[in-house]
């Protein structure tokens, strides 16, 4: 049986506890989970790709079968290059579904062999996203329950908060 590789793409600006929950869930389904940090022309990230990769690496260290990479371009091409057979996407709420469903159909059209797997995080993370975390951090709010300590430190440094 060949190795089952799933790719979990995202901007991860920054990675949250919700993302990490999805990563842990994905390790049950795949031999290898590649967390693929990407650029998104529609977004203006707070952290550059190298900073985001470093944060993700620090957060997933110790989770067996997980590796971190970065890419730019089409996801289907990247997945093919690394031998992934599936794309992992998190769904927090019904509001995520329409966009994710549309992207899944486009990716299926581009590569019919690529399976899209939707995973739901623990309900305590269903409201959580990177934008909310950045906004709370920018105003000095407590984000320790939203992100790992390394990410909390980086956000405080970036926003000049103690």
Q: What positions carry a catalytic annotation? A: 19, 43, 92, 130
Token look-up 């590789």 returns: 5
Q: Buried b vs exposed e over 72-100: b needs ≥16 C-beta within 10 Å?
A: eeebbebbeeeebbbbbbbbbeeebeeee
The first and second tokens of residue 149, run together, are 């300590």
How many helices (DSSP H) and strands (DSSP E) are in the chain?
6, 5
Instruction: Decide: 60 and 126 in contact? Cβ < 8 Å.
Output: no
Calculate the alpha carbon distances from 104 to 16, 47, 111, 117 in Å.
23, 27, 10, 9
């Amino acid at each position: 049986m060949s190795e089952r590789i799933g790719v979990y793409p995202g901007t991860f600006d920054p990675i949250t506890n919700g993302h990490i929950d999805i990563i842990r869930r994905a390790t049950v389904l795949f031999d290898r989970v590649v967390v693929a940090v990407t650029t998104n022309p529609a977004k203006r990230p707070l952290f550059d790709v190298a900073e985001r990769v470093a944060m993700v690496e620090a957060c997933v260290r110790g989770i067996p079968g997980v590796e971190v990479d970065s890419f730019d371009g089409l996801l289907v091409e990247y997945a093919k290059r690394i031998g992934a057979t599936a794309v992992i996407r998190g769904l927090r709420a019904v509001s995520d579904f329409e966009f994710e469903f549309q992207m899944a159909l486009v990716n299926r059209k581009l590569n019919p062999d690529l399976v899209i797997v939707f995973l739901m995080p623990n309900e305590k993370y269903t409201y959580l996203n990177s934008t909310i975390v950045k906004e709370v951090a920018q105003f000095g709010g407590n984000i320790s329950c939203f992100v790992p300590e390394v990410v909390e430190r980086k956000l405080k440094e970036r926003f000049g908060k103690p």
